[in-house]
Amino acid sequence: MTPLIEARDLVRIYHVRRGLFGHATPVRAVDGISFAVMPGETLGIVGESGSGKSTLGRMLLGIDDAQEGQVRFEGREMPARGTSDWRRLRAKMQLVYQDPLAALDRRLNIATQLAEPLEIHRLIPKEHRAARVSELMAAVGLRPDQATRFPHELSGGQRQRAVIARALASRPKLLVCDEPVSALDVSIQAQIVNMLRDLQQQYSIAMVFISHDLKVVRNVADRVAVMYLGRIVEEASSDVIFRTPLHPYTRALVSSVPRPGTRLQRRTILQGEPPNPANRPSGCAFHPRCPLAQNICRVTAPVLRQIDDGRTVACHVTAGEDAQIAA
Ligand code: SF4
C-alpha cells in the first residue's frame, strides 16, 4: 500500500547569527528524518520545545523547504511551493495551529471564514455553500447561531473548533495538527482531542499530531515518533512506546505520564535543559543528560536501528548487544 505522506531523509538548516557581528552558525533543525504515514493513520510526533517538531510539520506541507531529502504525497514528490500543483495539493493537506485566534481573521464572522476555502478552491457551487458551512459547523459541535459570531466572541475551544471546521472544508486527506490543544484549558483539551479522533475516523483522514504533551498523544496516535534535537530517536506503535519505552529519553518522557488504573510509576527527572541546537553535543546529542551514557556515546552518534518488535531506536546501549545492561 502506498503511504499517504512520506518523509525521506529531510534536512532543514537555519543560519543563526550570534550578536551583531558574529558569524552565522548553521543549525540543523531537522536532521535526516524519514517516516511514512498510511491513509487514515495518526502519527504522533513528540519532543521538548526546540526539537524541530514544528519545522518538520511545516516541511511536510511544503511551507518550509527541505535543503535535503524530499516529501512524497500519494507516491509523488511534493511540487514546488507556490506552484498551481502545490496549491491544489494543499487543499488535501491542512494545518491546524496552536493559536486559533491567530489562525482566524478577526474581521470576518465564522460562516464567512468557513465559506472561504469552498470559494477559493471552487469546491461546490455557490448555492450549496451555506448548507456546507452548516454541515461543517455541526460536525465540530458549533451551534447554528455561532455562524454570525466573530472570533473574539467565541471561547478558545469554540475558536479551535472553527479552525478545524475550516480545515475540513476542502475534504483533506491529511491534517497536520501542531500543538492543537496546548493553548486550551485542560477540561477543553480532551473534548477537542476526542472530536479530532472521531472526525478522523468518520472522514478517514490521516493525522500528524505534533505535541510536547504525551498524555494527549497517547489518546490519539496509532504510532509515535520521539524527536530530540532534530532527529527521531525512537519510533514504534503507540502501545509499544507507552508500555515498553526503550530509548532513555523516551523512558523519561513516558515516566511522567500517569497511567489510568496503575500505581504511579517512578518518574525519571531529566537532568538539565535541552542543549542549544546551535551547539550540538558530540556523539549522541542526549549524552549530557543520559543516565546510561557510556564512553562511546560521547564520541559516536547512534543510528536508528530496527529491532525485533518492529520499533526503531537510536541508542548504543538500549538497542545494542548491551541492551541487558540497561534493563
Ligand atoms: Fe544514552 Fe548513549 Fe543511548 Fe545516547 S546512545 S541515549 S547517551 S545510552
Q: pLDDT of 218-241, one tens digit each?
A: 999 999 999 999 999 999 999 999
Q: How far is the CA of 270 from the centre of ligand 1 (A)?
A: 13
Nearest to 167 by CA among 180, 152, 155, 156: 180
Return the amino acid letter for 88: R
Centre of ligand 1 from the C-alpha of residue 327, in Å: 13
Would you say the CB of residue 304 lies under 6 angstroms from ligand 1? no
Radius of gyration of the chain (CA): 21
Residue nearest to atom 7 of ligand 1 (CA): 287
**Cβ 326 under 6 angstroms from ligand 1:** no
Point out the ligand 1 atom lying closest to the alpha carbon of residue 291: 1
Candidate from 294, 298, 300 with most ligand 1 atoms within 8 A of CB, to mutate: 294
Q: What pLDDT shows up at residue 55? A: 95
What does the block give as the cell for 267?
Answer: 518518574
Q: Give the predicted TM-score (pTM) of the model.
A: 0.91
Using CA atoms, how far apart are residues 169 and 198, in angstroms rounded to an integer?
A: 16
Between CA 10 and CA 77 the distance in angstroms is 13
* C-alpha of residue 125 to centroid of ligand 1, in Å: 57
Task: State which ligand 1 atom lies nearest to the alpha carbon of 287.
Answer: 7
Residue 289: CB within 6 Å of ligand 1?
Answer: no
| Cβ 216 vs Cβ 46: under 8 Å | no
Ligand 1 neighbourhood includes 284 CB (under 6 angstroms): yes
Is the CB of residue 248 below 6 angstroms from any atom belonging to ligand 1?
Answer: yes
Check if the beta carbon of residue 318 is closer than 8 Å to that of residue 308: no
> Does residue 140 line the site of ligand 1, with CB under 6 A?
no
> Any idea what the Cα angle at residue 53 is, between residues 51 and 59, rounded to 5°?
130
Closest CA to 156 of 90, 100, 223: 100
Assigned architecture for domain 5-92+172-323 = 3-Layer(aba) Sandwich (3.40)
Grid coordinates belonging to 74? 500519494
Closest ligand 1 atom, residue 317 Cα: 8
Residues 309-324: pLDDT tens digits? 889 999 999 986 444 4
**CB 180 less than 6 A from any atom of ligand 1:** no
**Within 10 A of 237 (CB to CB), how many other CB atoms are there?**
15
Residue 35 CA to ligand 1 centre (angstroms)? 22
> What pLDDT score does 265 carry?
61
Residue 226 has a pLDDT of: 97
Q: What is the C-alpha to C-alpha distance for residues 211 and 201, in angstroms, rounded to an integer?
A: 20
How many whole angstroms from 24 Cα to the centroid of ligand 1?
29
Counting from 1 in the atom list of ligand 1, the atom nearest the Cα of 316 is 5
Per-residue confidence (pLDDT) for residue 142, from 0 to 100:
97
Over the chain (327 residues), what is each successive 10-residue block's mean pLDDT? Answer: 96 83 84 96 93 95 94 95 92 91 93 93 88 96 96 95 95 95 90 94 95 92 96 96 95 84 67 81 94 95 90 91 43
- H helix runs in the chain, sequence order: 53-60, 84-90, 100-103, 110-120, 126-139, 156-168, 186-203, 214-218, 238-243, 248-255, 295-299, 323-326
Three-state secondary structure readout of 122-136? CCCCHHHHHHHHHHH
Among 229, 280, 292, 318, say which to mutate for ligand 1: greatest number of ligand atoms within 8 Å of CB.
Answer: 292
Cell of 12: 532543514
Pairing of strands 24-37, 42-46: unpaired
Question: Is the beta carbon of 290 within 6 A of some atom in ligand 1?
Answer: yes
